[in-house]
Amino acid sequence: MATLVVLGYFTTVQATEDTSQHPIVANSNHQTPLTASEGLPKELSPEQIENLETEKYTFQTEVSRLMHLIINSLYKTREIFLRELISNASDALDKIRFISLTDPEALKTKAGLGITIAADPERKTLVITDTGIGMTRQQLKENLGTIAKSGTSEFLAKMEQNNDAITQIGQFGVGFYSVFLVADKVTVASKSNDDPDQYIWMSTAVDDFTIAKDPRGNTLDRGTQITLYLKPDAYRFLQEKNLKELVHKYSQFITFPIMVWSSEEQEVPVSSTQAKKEDIDALLNDDELIEESIDQEPSSDEQTEKRLVYSWHHVNVQKPIWMRDPKDITDQEHKEFFKSVSREREDPLAWTHYKGEGEIEFRSILYIPSVVTDVFFNNIKNDQSNKPIKLFVKRVFISDEVELLPKWLSFLKGIVDADDMPLNVSRETLQKHRSLRIITRHLVKKALDMFSSLSKSDPEAYKKFLGQYSTILKYGAIEEQSYRKKITSLLRFASSFDTESFSSSLDDYIDRAKANQKSIFFMTGSNIGEIEQSPFIEALLARGYEIIYFTDPIDETFVENIPGYNGKMFVNIAKADIDFAEDDKDFDRDNELEAKYKPLTDWLIKTLDQHIEKAVVSRRLTTSPLAIITPKNGLSGHAQRVLDAQGVNHKNPNMEYIMESMRLQKKILEINPSHPVMETLLDYVEEDNITKDVETLIQLMYETTAIRSGFPLKDMTQFAGRVEGLIRKAVGVSISEEAKVRVKKAEEKTKEEKLADEELKKTNIVYETEEDDMEHDEL
């Protein structure tokens, strides 16, 4: 059998699955129904209060100052009072459980360990009870009347001067005083094993508090019961729905069961007798009677009626799986937990469960969502942080506003549960503490290990991961120099060896590199098809070199910030200065070709002066006649298109000037000395046989080459005109001959149509006037 705490009293219910480790379990729907007030604690009567032999104490000065700050400034949201009280209750339960490991007698006074929360709408009170270690009279005075820590005055002075200067908050155990955010009167009843009597502490958060022996007697056996007399503007915390939501939000992973006094409409026998509190004590000693009460079903001919039945609802049923051995957690449990934490619908791609030990102890679980959301990219674009990690301290939810991951990893979801963490009073934001840096370092390492493990264990899932997150990883490599090599090793690309997306790593590329190859050759483009049509790849493919195909808009920026990998430098084959291993051997041949084609290159520079800086004999072309090359520090055609599409130049005037300068930068024209068109043009130049048509053709040839090389044309109208002129000449049509236009011109408006338009204008004016009058009436 298992026991259920009912605010100082017990009801015995059948233990259910997954509750064997907790003596306090969720109530069965079959128990004898209780009325709204019968599960609530017995309040002190006015006569008892009047006859109390109280001792009055003044709050320590620091406590008064602290309460003033808490109530008026520090806490962002009032609802955290419940989190603080549950956290304190959990600590008290942890203490008695720890003592019981060496002293089993400690739990004899109260076997059940748990927390109950009950609202009384009539009295406007909220009662939180735990069966923890409890407090003696002296402990009530010390724990709730003073802050027994050195340096408190200095700490409070800093806090009053500048909240941002706080670095040690949370070391002082001041969470209890958050009750005065919602209550104007608080009573605390507590019973400790070390004191024969139960005592009560009372305060109205002014300057003093009183302590007295509880006239109700030892109603708790052991533990603490806090009764909050709520302020009128805090009555929403009396609603059962709100209480359950707050427990679920902040404390769903507390080790001990948290029960909320709840109502539910049920069909019950008309003759059913309401269980009284005195009956509950009798039931404790009669197991057979209990079992009969639970299992007995009403007979079919017995009259029933709908009635609000009150019972205890176990709220924190979601167990903290991060506290379990990773080997004992099934994949399905991880998927369900991920969805509960992240509110995602799809299963995660992968996860890692980690326990950090050493400098700081913590547990964490990180998940990779199957799809990256637009919110992530919008936050990155607006220089805002995604904060997907929920921070717990000893299973108590602290915040999801703490940056525990760098921006480029903030697509991950998960939790971190630290055993010891300095907090600020509000627990809404953590200080930039060394512990956080240590945790972040561990999390980044475990995340990268998770990606690496996924690439080996499930290549298809890893391709799906890269399809969503490769751009983000490249951003991380640019931002984080310390993780640059590791991140780069995780990336995958298409290449001339295998054009499938995410097929080759840089390590694969280097393994396939040729003898004496010092470079990693790459080409950028909007897609693989565009790259494969580029003239730039011809010579390398002909020589047997592999080319990596970069199709991600960030790729060119990525390689500019990652100049090399494992001793080999990245080389953009669309830019100047490509070195081949056999260059030295062809030095004499190249000089001969340069000299031979100098008349043609000189003529091309003169003819295409507005476009090119120089013309040279190419080593990279095999089948195409021309190629347009960007200077080493210039913008490639693909990069220019990407930046234009992003509108970078319109957002920043300085950037607009720089971009325009780079666009206007003249290019390098490479000619293929083996192409018949170039050989013929050389003959034309040497024979001085250059006509106007030849000049037009070379202009058209340059523009088509620019398109193939990825550059946008400055004047599409001129390009279209040259193409049309070439076609006209080929088909024998004069350049001056125009198309015959056979269309009927539209008629002018009639007088009637013009009058109708005028009437419509008048109608619009009337409507606007009426709207203005309405606005004035409202004002």
Annotated binding site for ATP: 84, 88, 130, 135, 143, 149-151, 171-176, 224, 427
Using DSSP, state whether 712 is helix, strand or coil: coil
Nearest to 423 by CA among 398, 458, 455: 398
Rounded Cα–Cα distance for residues 755 and 741 (Å):
34
Cα angle vertex 732, ends 728, 735, to 5°? 45
Please report which helix (H) or strand (E) contains residue 265, including its range. Answer: strand 258-269
Question: DSSP 3-state helix, strand, coil percentages of the chain (rounded to 5)?
Answer: 45, 20, 35
Please report which helix (H) or strand (E) contains residue 175, including its range. Answer: none
Nearest to 572 by CA among 538, 605, 603, 549: 549
Spatial CB neighbours of 688, under 8 Å, sequence gap ≥ 6: none
Cα angle vertex 707, ends 470, 645, to 5°? 45
Using DSSP, state whether 522 is helix, strand or coil: strand
Residue 754 φ/ψ, nearest 5 degrees: -65, -40
Nearest to 247 by CA among 186, 149, 316: 316
> Is 514 exposed, middle or buried (CB count within 10 Å of its CB: 0-12, 13-18, 19+)?
exposed
Cβ–Cβ < 8 Å for 241, 145? no
Rounded Cα–Cα distance for residues 283 and 308 (Å):
23
Cβ–Cβ < 8 Å for 619, 626? no
Beta strands, E only, 42-123: 55-58, 115-120
Beta strands, E only, 489-543: 494-495, 519-524
Rounded Cα–Cα distance for residues 621 and 103 (Å):
86
Which residues belong to the annotated binding site? 84, 88, 130, 135, 143, 149-151, 171-176, 224, 427
Spatial CB neighbours of 125, under 8 Å, sequence gap ≥ 6: 43, 119, 227, 228, 229, 230
Rounded Cα–Cα distance for residues 550 and 506 (Å):
12
Residue 187 φ/ψ, nearest 5 degrees: -120, 140
Rounded Cα–Cα distance for residues 152 and 62 (Å):
7
Rounded Cα–Cα distance for residues 779 and 777 (Å):
5
Rounded Cα–Cα distance for residues 392 and 416 (Å):
6
